[in-house]
């Protein structure tokens, strides 16, 4: 099958792309606006884009699709200039799914998902205490590309639980047990093969 650009809309090629670029890591972003309410939401258009400095990119859809100028996460990041990327382990999958619900701005997803916000070291946004790995980030820039806002942030503080950390600055994946996005579903990331040198 060949689908040319002129057919993308009618054939819903975006669904094929979502099913092709998998598994996608999940950035479980905690943020806090000037109203002081902690927000938490998962985004699977996310990755590392630089090593020096360490930079991440998260794509956040335009708010008009849910009747807002910006989604609460983006609005908070713009207001405070920071956020935290909490990584999702399998044990937190249900809470992560709950936090993906669109709640009013004055409702905290931490409360709805029964999670614990804890004070970060260098940013205003709280971390998810239950997350095994969290990364505090300062906003570098926001760029609108197509129908998404591209949020670029710089890592300023890295948190990893002792039970997940291995000597040599490595992560114990069996204990970390990360999950990813597989099209509209989620997947475990548990089978490793062809070990090699780190890049």
Domain count, the chain: 1
Closest CA to 133 of 23, 24, 21, 25: 25
Looking at residue 95, which CATH number applies to its domain?
Answer: 2.30.110.10
Structure-token pair, residue 92: 């937190």
Residue 29 lies in a domain: yes
The residue assigned the tokens 């998902």 is 113
Residue 53 lies in a domain: yes
Residue 186 lies in a domain: no
Mean pLDDT of the residues in the chain:
94
pTM as predicted = 0.93
Round to whole Å and give the CA distance between 82 and 30. Answer: 9
Of the pLDDT bands very low, low, confident and very high (cuts 50, 70, 90), residue 65 is low
Nearby residues of 198 by Cβ (< 8 Å), 6 or more positions away: none
Residue 34 pLDDT > 60, yes or no? yes
Cα 22 to its chain centre, rounded Å, is 15
pLDDT of 50 reads 97
Least confident of 117-121, 133-137, 143-147, 188-192: 188-192
């Amino acid at each position: 099958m060949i689908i040319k650009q002129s057919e993308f809309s009618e054939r819903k090629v975006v669904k094929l792309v979502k099913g092709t670029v998998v598994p996608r890591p999940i950035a479980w972003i905690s943020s806090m606006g000037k109203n002081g309410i902690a927000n938490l939401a998962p985004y699977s258009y996310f990755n590392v884009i630089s090593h020096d400095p360490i930079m991440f990119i998260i794509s956040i859809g335009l708010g008009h699709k849910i009747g807002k100028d910006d989604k609460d996460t983006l609005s908070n990041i713009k207001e405070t200039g920071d956020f935290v990327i909490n990584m999702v382990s399998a044990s937190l999958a249900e809470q992560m799914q709950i936090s993906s619900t669109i709640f009013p701005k004055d409702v905290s997803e931490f409360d709805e998902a029964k999670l614990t916000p804890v004070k970060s070291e260098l940013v205003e946004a709280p971390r998810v205490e239950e997350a095994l790995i969290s990364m505090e980030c300062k906003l570098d820039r926001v760029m609108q590309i197509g129908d998404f806002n591209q949020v670029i942030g710089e890592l300023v503080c890295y948190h990893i639980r002792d039970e997940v950390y291995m000597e040599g600055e490595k992560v114990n994946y069996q204990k970390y047990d990360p999950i990813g996005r597989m099209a509209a579903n989620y997947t475990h990331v548990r089978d490793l093969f062809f070990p090699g040198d780190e890049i």
